[in-house]
Amino acid sequence: MGMLLRETDRHAERIMVMVQSGAHEQGNDAITRSWSRCLNEYRLHPDQPRKPAIIETAALESRRARKADVIDCARYEMTTLYQQLADADSAVVLTDTDGVIIHMVSSPAFAAEVAPLGLRAGGMWSEAEAGTNGMGTCIAAAAPVAIRREDHFFAQFSQLTCSAVPVYDPSGEIAAVLDVSSRSKQMQQHLLVLLGMTARMIENRLIDQRFRDAHPLHFHSRPEFVYTLHEGKLAVGDDGCILAANRSALFQLGLQTMDEIRSRRIEDLFQTSLEDMLQRSMSSSFHPVVTYRANAALRFFAVARRPASSAIATAHPISAAAPGSPVLLAAAKALARPAASRPVSHSSATFKDPRLLAHLETARRVIARQTPVLLWGETGSGKEVFARATHDASPHAHGAFVAVNCASLPETLIESELFGYRAGAFTGAQRSGRRGKILQADGGTLFLDEIADMPLDLQARLLRVLDERQVTPLGTEDTHPVDFQLISGSHQNLPALVREGRFREDLYYRLAGIELDLPSLRERSDKRELIHDVLKTEAGSEGSLSADAERLLMDYPWPGNIRQLRHVLRSAAALADGCPITREHLPALILHPALLQAQVPVAVSDPSPAVDEGAPRPVKLNPIQANERQVLLQMLEQHRWNVSNVAKALDVSRNTLYRKLHKLRIEVSHPE
């Protein structure tokens, strides 16, 4: 006890000396300024800690009611952040602007340990009540803060480290504070970055929720940042007036406050109107289209959508028709009249290829009879676009289309994403638990892309769901009946994986009611039309190709398929800057002459050792594979054999690129 008192005395003395020396006036130290406020304004004393202040239940519920939409937007993001931290000795906390905790996510054990400190729902953490701390000091400073253990004004809180950021509402005012308090010695700058990202997601959700009757407009000066946390986001009224904007939108437009943008029209910001932007966005399959800053040469890429509140299902099932009937054309145009809540998934050129049209008719007919569809196609070949088109031409078109990319989710998250979890799995979980993707697809279509990457134990659970047509969320014994259409996709050879024991044979046969092989871009008969459609999307009406550039695009083998085509044309349009695109604007495609000369099978060395210890066994590559190999070798040379940079240039994952390199017998021995 004596040692504890001495430590408290030393802590109090350090604070008093720092404040009395005027250190808070000599720099930009948020901590010493906070200590000064605690001593001089709130009349607190560091050696006389207060008993934690907790408001009554009725008052807490009243505050929660006033911040109901903020809490609703924050619940999921706070849970996700808590899972990312993977720290049982931490809590993710949301306070109102008075510093009262209105929502908290933590483990039950940690919540019980810190409750006596006042770190619980209803706890008051303003500086006036709790001295210097993450939540209260963030409110006072109106800025992100990191409070280490000894930075707290009261020594009783020195067992905690706290990082906090403000959360802004659509009017530009602070609506809440998001905090992580922990006993761990975490890197607080890293925490502040994570908190900042989470706050942005909450803010974007808040715009969507408060302006459901408005048109959302997404934009950025770089097209790859549209639909990411970095995008600018506007809520636009039917009359074209700006109702709300996120912080990124203000920054990109060179504005400081919401007052500078509120009630201005789209025409005041961009060289376009709302209706023009909506029409162009729909025509581009809701990929970003080019626009320019009003009265300036600044170029942006933007997408506009109809209001979420107008989401009325307008797609209707297409009745069965005999082969050769107009149903193919109707299915190809189905996405021109989607439910307002679903974006158009492809341009008309996507379905001009006869093989794709035939596959679409086949998929439409079999899925109407509850037969699962398995799509095979190279990465970037448009499996999800095809799956959505199948959904929109199916009897379940009125339901949701739910897509899950099994390769993009960590194994630890796939299970909760698919099956959901029960309420109460940890303190602060949603009261109703979390609905998984399978339940979300009830009445609609579930598309499981890259199904080969699903862990074996989850394959068994999925098989049970498909057989029993009911799902059991994690942590509960309750079952929920489900009715959905199933479409799966993979670029891997599933029968080969079955033989290797890496994929369940029974699940494979359950998924493969019918298998459809989607053509790669280089195999498609509508490649020319597709190139021009994508160019129109990326460059707008001013985009055009020289004859040489078009020939180069047509001859290129496109290992990254449509995704790579979109990336290449997006970059080329930026380089051309309104002029016709020429070969010089396509540097990644100007390859060694051997690329176009590879018209006969090429033998390459197989790195596996020969049985007789002789020369490596030659492996035959067909012309397409030979072209791919030359392309990848050239790109590896251009990027100094940095696989990460090549993957970014191709717009594919590193794992996908490594698999392709292995398949084409390219050894990556150069250090990155």
The reply to whether 80 and 198 lie within a common domain is yes
Q: Is residue 24 part of a domain?
A: no
Task: Give the separation between CA 403 and CA 29, rounded to whole angstroms.
Answer: 47
Q: Which CATH number is 646's domain given?
A: 1.10.10.60
pLDDT given at position 433: 59
Asked if residue 336 has pLDDT above 50, the reply is no
% pLDDT > 90, the chain: 29
The residues near 48 (Cβ < 8 Å, ≥ 6 apart) are none
The reply to whether 95 and 193 lie within a common domain is yes
Q: Are 554 and 546 in contact (CB under 8 A)?
A: no
Boundary of a domain, candidates 186, 208, 230: 208
Q: Which CATH number is 165's domain given?
A: 3.30.450.40
Higher pLDDT pick, 340 / 531: 531
The reply to whether 395 and 515 lie within a common domain is yes
Here the tokens at position 229 are 């946390």
The reply to whether 659 and 629 lie within a common domain is yes
The reply to whether 97 and 137 lie within a common domain is yes
Task: Give the separation between CA 517 and CA 493, rounded to whole angstroms.
Answer: 11
DSSP structure class, residue 366:
H
Write out pLDDT tens, residues 512-535: 888 999 999 988 988 998 898 888
Write out pLDDT tens, residues 314-326: 333 322 333 333 3
Task: Give the separation between CA 158 and CA 101, rounded to whole angstroms.
Answer: 19
Here the tokens at position 337 are 């009249």
pLDDT given at position 277: 92
- The CA-atom distances, in angstroms, between 138 and each of 123, 146, 162, 471, 567 are 16, 9, 10, 43, 41
Is 111 strand, coil or helix? helix
Q: Is residue 25 part of a domain?
A: no
Boundary of a domain, candidates 191, 208, 225: 208
Task: Give the separation between CA 605 and CA 616, rounded to whole angstroms.
Answer: 6
The reply to whether 341 and 386 lie within a common domain is yes
The reply to whether 605 and 584 lie within a common domain is no
Asked if residue 603 has pLDDT above 50, the reply is no
One-character DSSP codes across 399-446: S-EEEEETTTS-HHHHHHHHH-B-TTSSBT--TT-B--HHHHTTTSEE
Report the chain's mean pLDDT, rounded to a whole number. 79
In the chain, the number of structural domains is: 5
**Average confidence (pLDDT) over 259-281:** 90
pLDDT given at position 616: 39
pLDDT given at position 424: 56
Q: Are 668 and 659 in contact (CB under 8 A)?
A: no
pLDDT given at position 594: 33
Here the tokens at position 549 are 């550039």
The reply to whether 223 and 239 lie within a common domain is yes
The reply to whether 66 and 187 lie within a common domain is yes
pLDDT given at position 613: 39
Task: Give the separation between CA 434 and CA 423, rounded to whole angstroms.
Answer: 7
Q: Is residue 299 part of a domain?
A: yes
Asked if residue 150 has pLDDT above 70, the reply is yes
Task: Give the separation between CA 629 and CA 175, rounded to whole angstroms.
Answer: 54
Q: Are 534 and 541 in contact (CB under 8 A)?
A: no
The reply to whether 241 and 299 lie within a common domain is yes
The reply to whether 251 and 300 lie within a common domain is yes
Q: Which amino acid is at 550?
A: E
Write out pLDDT tens, residues 626-649: 656 766 776 776 676 788 878 877
Crossing angle, helix 68-85 and helix 57-66, to 10 degrees? 100
The DSSP bridge pattern shows strands 401-405 and 480-481 to be unpaired
Asked if residue 234 has pLDDT above 90, the reply is yes
Higher pLDDT pick, 318 / 34: 34
pLDDT given at position 576: 79
% pLDDT > 70, the chain: 79
The reply to whether 345 and 305 lie within a common domain is no
Q: How confident is the model at residue 604 (pLDDT cuts 50, 70, 90)?
A: very low
Q: Is residue 238 part of a domain?
A: yes
Q: Is residue 6 part of a domain?
A: no
Boundary of a domain, candidates 208, 230, 255: 208
Which of 84-93, 132-141, 276-285, 650-659: highest mean pLDDT? 132-141
Q: How confident is the model at residue 339 (pLDDT cuts 50, 70, 90)?
A: very low
Residue range(s) defining the domain that contains residue 285: 211-310
Q: How confident is the model at residue 135 (pLDDT cuts 50, 70, 90)?
A: very high
- The CA-atom distances, in angstroms, between 569 and each of 82, 550, 581 are 39, 11, 9
Asked if residue 49 has pLDDT above 90, the reply is no
